[in-house]
């Protein structure tokens, strides 16, 4: 079953499951659906859409993604418990191709302290869980959590039994990011050497990045026979994150001379996926991050610029175009009509209803009046804002007095459940004044965890894109807002976060009622 002699490596994206487990990186249903669409378009083989037993929200996300995704296998995670597996199977039912991914810790440390189970009981649970999962689908993945710190004899025994019970993929997690490449590669090789039925399964890697080695470990796994890599966009994930999808895919592509393995990824979608994940989660990408950082293809030093102008290959080992990084497209100016605007939206992947289209077009005209050049990124930021028709709180207007003399004051109007409310507030600076005004109109206890501004494009007339993260009772939400005025963008982002918080509160209340 393992086609180590075919050199195709499956890409298993777990941005919406392991990535989302990273504190503060929560995504709502609409955001997950958008990401799933981008991952599918990109050619991701398996999308791990969530952990259905974890919450009703996770169940719903997996279920909705299972309904719409056709090009990728949709996967749901389950512990080694029958009720977990049943819930995953139920969520995945609508999928054209589904996978159940079940896992159990196998390291001495995890078995003794976390599971408080004897190895024999763990082994039996592996067999029972895989057997049960196979009653729903013939695509079952099993993972020995903390696999890299598991005793080899026990690991081989569990892997062999999992395959015998019907697992078609065996995934080896370096759960705590402890392994080094040579060691991880040798572990994968050891499984091929010692597990008699290993050829009946595909071997996968799942590496965390605590020592910054997740990508190197994954590639060592591939070099030793693994033919699936689990990874996330931008390396999102708990603690230091998971192996970054874009780095693995581009390393395999760029160094195909030494690593003759292929993926099915259309690499030109990488930048789009990276920006979407950064935007949704508020986890911005560091400028010097490989492949997707803002400086990844920038050449500052004169000597480098000179070289690149003479021959791009002097300092560029891959082209910006290969990861979908084109020069920003100049879209339209203030004379562009509604029809052209609708066409542009279609090209960017947005299909808006008439009302949303009218509102977006009005904001586009306002933007074109203020800003000399309007780029694709501007339109995306603006439409992201506009796709919030169901929000209970809507931004109406903001007037701010700022500067060194103080007091900084914000006059704000919000539409709350269809009625416009106004207030005036002061604060320690214009942002504080604006947020205080919002708090007066929408009293709440949520704590501001993150306030982040970045320019959508270049220039002083660029739109600001603001991310606000709020936390309430251990739950976090990220809100986004864009405008050429940073304070208006800030107010929009805060309002967006409050709307998400309200949806989350309602869902939590419903979950409590149905529990």
Residue 240 or residue 318: which is nearer to Zn ion going by CB?
Answer: 240
Q: How many residues appear in the chain?
A: 515
Q: Is the dihedral of CA 80, 85, 88, 92 positive or negative?
A: positive
Contact positions with Zn ion (CB under 5 A) in 90-129:
none
Residue 174 or residue 471: which is nearer to ligand KIV going by CB?
Answer: 174
| CB of 352 vs Zn ion, minimal distance in Å | 37
Positions in the binding site for ligand KIV (CB under 6 A) = 18, 103, 143, 145, 173, 175, 206, 208
Residue 146 or residue 385: which is nearer to ligand KIV going by CB?
Answer: 146
Stretch that binds Zn ion, among 10-18, 94-102, 412-420, 446-454 (CB under 5 A): 10-18
d(CA 181, CA 214): 9
d(CA 460, CA 349): 28
d(CA 238, CA 423): 40
- Answer for the pair 400, 410: CB distance below 8 angstroms, yes or no: yes
Q: Which does 241 bind (CB under 5 to 8 A by kind): ligand KIV, Zn ion, none?
A: none
Residue 45 or residue 385: which is nearer to ligand KIV going by CB?
Answer: 45
Q: Which does 409 bind (CB under 5 to 8 A by kind): Zn ion, ligand KIV, none?
A: none
Site string for Zn ion, 140-169 (x = CB under 5 A): ------------------------------
Stretch that binds Zn ion, among 12-20, 84-92, 402-410, 465-473 (CB under 5 A): 12-20
For residue 481, what are the contacts with CB-CB under 8 A and spacing of at least 6?
Answer: 385, 395, 465, 466, 468, 488, 489, 490, 491, 492, 493, 494, 495, 496
| CB of 324 vs ligand KIV, minimal distance in Å | 28
Residue 53 or residue 489: which is nearer to Zn ion going by CB?
Answer: 53
Q: Which does 232 bind (CB under 5 to 8 A by kind): ligand KIV, Zn ion, none?
A: none
Residue 145 or residue 386: which is nearer to Zn ion going by CB?
Answer: 145
Q: Which does 371 bind (CB under 5 to 8 A by kind): Zn ion, ligand KIV, none?
A: none
Residue 126 or residue 477: which is nearer to Zn ion going by CB?
Answer: 126
Residue 145 or residue 465: which is nearer to ligand KIV going by CB?
Answer: 145
Helix-strand-coil split of the chain, %, nearest 5: 45, 20, 35
Residue 40 or residue 145: which is nearer to ligand KIV going by CB?
Answer: 145
| CB of 18 vs Zn ion, minimal distance in Å | 4
| CB of 511 vs Zn ion, minimal distance in Å | 25
Binder of Zn ion out of 9, 13, 17, 18 (CB under 5 A): 18
d(CA 281, CA 350): 20
Stretch that binds Zn ion, among 11-19, 108-116, 342-350, 469-477 (CB under 5 A): 11-19
| CB of 175 vs Zn ion, minimal distance in Å | 6
Q: Which does 64 bind (CB under 5 to 8 A by kind): ligand KIV, Zn ion, none?
A: none
| CB of 128 vs ligand KIV, minimal distance in Å | 18
| CB of 477 vs Zn ion, minimal distance in Å | 23
| CB of 208 vs Zn ion, minimal distance in Å | 6
| CB of 177 vs ligand KIV, minimal distance in Å | 9
| CB of 109 vs Zn ion, minimal distance in Å | 16
Q: Which does 143 bind (CB under 5 to 8 A by kind): Zn ion, ligand KIV, none?
A: ligand KIV
21 CB burial (10 A radius; 0-12, 13-18, 19+)? middle
Q: Which residue has the tokens 């939590």?
A: 508
Both tokens of 298, joined, read 């920038």
Q: Is 40 in the site for Zn ion (CB under 5 A)?
A: no
Q: In the complex, which residue's CB is closest to Zn ion?
A: 18
Q: Which does 283 bind (CB under 5 to 8 A by kind): Zn ion, ligand KIV, none?
A: none
- CA-based nearest residue to 451, from 416, 426, 486, 499: 486
| CB of 30 vs ligand KIV, minimal distance in Å | 25
d(CA 131, CA 360): 52
d(CA 331, CA 346): 13
d(CA 33, CA 65): 6
Three-state SS string over 362-409 comes to: HHHHHHHHHCCCCEHHHHHHHHHHHCCCCCCEEEEEEEEECCCCCCEE
Write the DSSP symbol of residue 240.
Answer: T
d(CA 154, CA 108): 10
d(CA 498, CA 193): 55
Cis preceding-peptide flag for 409 (omega within 30 of 0): no
For residue 58, what are the contacts with CB-CB under 8 A and spacing of at least 6?
Answer: 50, 51, 52
Residue 206 or residue 388: which is nearer to ligand KIV going by CB?
Answer: 206
d(CA 338, CA 361): 7
**Residues in touch with Zn ion (CB under 5 A):** 18
């Amino acid at each position: 079953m393992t086609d180590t002699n075919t050199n195709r490596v499956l890409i298993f994206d777990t941005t919406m499951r392991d990535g989302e487990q990273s504190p503060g990186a929560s995504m709502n249903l609409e955001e997950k659906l958008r990401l799933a669409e981008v991952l599918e378009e990109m050619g991701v083989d398996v999308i791990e859409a969530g952990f259905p037993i974890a919450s009703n929200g996770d169940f719903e996300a997996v279920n909705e993604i299972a309904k719409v995704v056709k090009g990728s296998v949709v996967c749901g995670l389950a512990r080694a418990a029958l009720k977990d597996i049943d819930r995953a199977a139920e969520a995945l039912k609508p999928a054209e191709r589904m996978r159940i991914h079940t896992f159990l810790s196998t390291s001495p440390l995890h078995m003794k302290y976390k599971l408080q189970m004897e190895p024999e009981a763990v082994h039996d649970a592996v067999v029972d869980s895989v057997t049960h999962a196979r009653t729903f689908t013939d695509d079952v993945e099993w993972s020995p959590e903390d696999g890299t710190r598991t005793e080899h004899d026990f690991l081989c025994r569990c892997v062999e039994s999992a395959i015998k019970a019907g697992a078609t993929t065996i995934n080896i997690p370096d759960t705590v990011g402890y392994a080094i490449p040579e060691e991880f590669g040798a572990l994968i090789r050891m499984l091929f050497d010692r597990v008699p039925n290993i050829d009946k399964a595909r071997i996968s890697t799942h590496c965390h990045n605590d020592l910054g080695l997740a990508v190197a470990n994954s590639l060592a796994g591939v070099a030793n026979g693994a033919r699936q890599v689990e990874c996330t966009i931008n390396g999102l994930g708990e603690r230091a994150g998971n192996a970054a999808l874009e780095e693995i895919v581009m390393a395999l592509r760029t160094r195909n001379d030494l690593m003759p393995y292929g993926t099915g990824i259309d690499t030109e979608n990488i930048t789009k996926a990276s920006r979407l994940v950064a935007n949704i989660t508020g986890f911005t990408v560091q400028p010097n991050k490989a492949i997707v950082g803002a400086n990844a293809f920038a050449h500052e030093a004169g000597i480098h610029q000179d070289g690149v102008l003479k021959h791009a290959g002097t300092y560029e080992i891959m082209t910006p175009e290969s990861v979908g990084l084109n020069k920003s497209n100049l879209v339209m100016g203030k004379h562009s009509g509604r029809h052209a605007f609708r066409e542009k939206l279609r090209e960017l992947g947005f299909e808006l209803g008439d009302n949303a289209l009218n509102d977006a077009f009005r904001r586009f005209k306002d933007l074109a009046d203020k800003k000399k050049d309007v780029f694709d990124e501007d339109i995306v930021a603006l439409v992201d804002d506009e796709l919030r028709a169901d929000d209970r709180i809507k931004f109406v207007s903001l007037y701010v007095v700022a500067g060194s003399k103080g007091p900084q004051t914000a006059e704000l109007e919000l539409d709350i459940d269809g009625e416009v409310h106004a207030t005036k507030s002061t604060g320690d600076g214009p942002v504080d004044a604006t947020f205080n005004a919002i708090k007066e109109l929408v009293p709440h206890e949520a704590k501001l965890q993150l306030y982040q501004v970045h320019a959508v494009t270049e220039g002083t007339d660029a739109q600001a894109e603001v991310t606000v993260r709020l936390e309430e009772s251990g739950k976090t939400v990220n809100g986004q807002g864009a405008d050429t005025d940073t304070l208006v963008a800030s107010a929009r982002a805060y309002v967006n976060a409050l709307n998400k918080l309200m949806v989350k509160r309602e869902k939590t209340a419903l979950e409590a009622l149905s529990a």
